[in-house]
Structure 1
């Protein structure tokens, strides 16, 4: 929505465009890993330059394909759809925390310990976005193949039940810590902020019921822990429970 806050939101003072731009978006293609049960992505040419004088494609994919934003309506009855989200809360100063050597639940105490050790935060009081780098980078084929996500036909829960500590995720206390510390958005480089073996999705419920945006399937493989400016723009799809998004980081150096 273009309104009173637009000039402030896009002011040069708030967006440090002089830094290096890092694209942390997972591309959508016919080979993009998907969560089992989600619609398989398809890109089909319907018009071509040779025959029709212009190129047009038919796109088929789920609302949670590739890098995407979860809207509250994803898990909450009566929750806001993605086109009603406050877009300003999806941009701002962000901290990337590295949990790529850790598996299992990210509890509130674990988040507090790692967050407090980043001394760069002492000079910044405007951090509104938390990004979690884990050992589940999407561009690596072995991640998709190991958990059978590429075709979306096998169930990752079985894999994680056999090895529940394989991948990092937020437990209820970790999600509560994020809410308590005033973050507006949390992002992760895996399919879910919750354990993939979870059916109740406690982190989703805690975060989305507290108006904390969730961004999933980021590509943080080439990103070092530290401070950045974050931009994430979900497609404006009316009444939808989520939407694919373009996500960028801008470094401060």
Structure 2
């Protein structure tokens, strides 16, 4: 069997950008299992920035240790002309989420969290230097009722890979979502 480590819904680990960083086999599952909050950014258009001010509007919803999922609605536009460009996270917003809110992982239903006009991928670098995982191309965030769920992000335990396709399971009052 062979596949790209960045296909479909996948999680990226620090090794993706940090030499000697954590990889799929040694990344702690405690950082991939826990309470997630879904933030609604479906009002964003292609190429829009998700600003620090917009994230701060969710300040009371984001708890320390949360896994933060960004719902842009792009999972419903996969393989269409509207799939890219996608909304991206402002660098100061990413820093605020990591340093102030102390999140343990972040994900999006878009292709990436980066503004690809900035070549160095500063959001990836910041997340990975802080040993956070990043999930890309999420699906079904609209099915998580009340915007909170217990989630399980389950990568294959393969030594040395810097990313891995995942199956994510969410459980909340609305039931079981995958």
The aligned runs of 1:82-121 (5 Å cut-off) are: 82-103=24-45, 104-116=48-60, 118=61
Q: Is the 8 A contact 1:95 1:127 kept in 2?
A: no
Distance in 2 separating the partners of 1:196 and 1:107:
16
Structure 1 segments, 4+ long, off by >6 Å, are: none
- Greater relative CO, 1 or 2 (CA 8 Å, sep 6+): 2
Deviations 1:30-66 (A, max 9, x none): xxxxxxxxxxxxxxxxxxxxxxxxxxxxx33210111
Instruction: Report the alpha carbon displacement of residue 221 of structure 1 after superposing the two structures with TM.
Output: 4.1
2:80 to 145, 148, 155: 145
Assess, with a 3 A threshold, how the Cα gap between structure 1 residues 173 and 225 changes in structure 2: closer, same or farther: farther
SS at match of 2:127: helix
Residue number in structure 2 paired with 1:132: 70
The answer to whether residue 178 in structure 2 is matched with residue 178 in structure 1 is no
SS at match of 1:82: coil
Distance in 1 separating the partners of 2:113 and 2:163:
14
Deviations 1:66-105 (A, max 9, x none): 1111011111222222211011110111111110112312
CA RMSD of aligned residues (A): 2.1
Instruction: Report the alpha carbon displacement of residue 176 of structure 1 after superposing the two structures with TM.
Output: 0.2
SS at match of 1:144: coil
2:148 to 220, 227, 232: 227
User: Which TM-score applies when normalising by structure 1?
Assistant: 0.61
Extract unaligned runs of 5+ from structure 2.
none
SS at match of 2:80: helix
Distance in 1 separating the partners of 2:80 and 2:53:
33
Residue number in structure 1 paired with 2:23: 81
Count of residue pairs brought into register by the alignment: 170
The aligned runs of 1:152-191 (5 Å cut-off) are: 160=85, 167-180=86-99, 181-191=101-111
Deviations 1:96-126 (A, max 9, x none): 111011231222221111343x4xx6xxx56
The answer to whether residue 124 in structure 2 is matched with residue 204 in structure 1 is yes
Q: Is the 8 A contact 2:22 2:131 kept in 1?
A: no
Instruction: Report the alpha carbon displacement of residue 235 of structure 1 after superposing the two structures with TM.
Output: 0.8
SS at match of 2:39: strand
SS at match of 1:200: coil
Instruction: Report the alpha carbon displacement of residue 225 of structure 1 after superposing the two structures with TM.
Output: 5.1
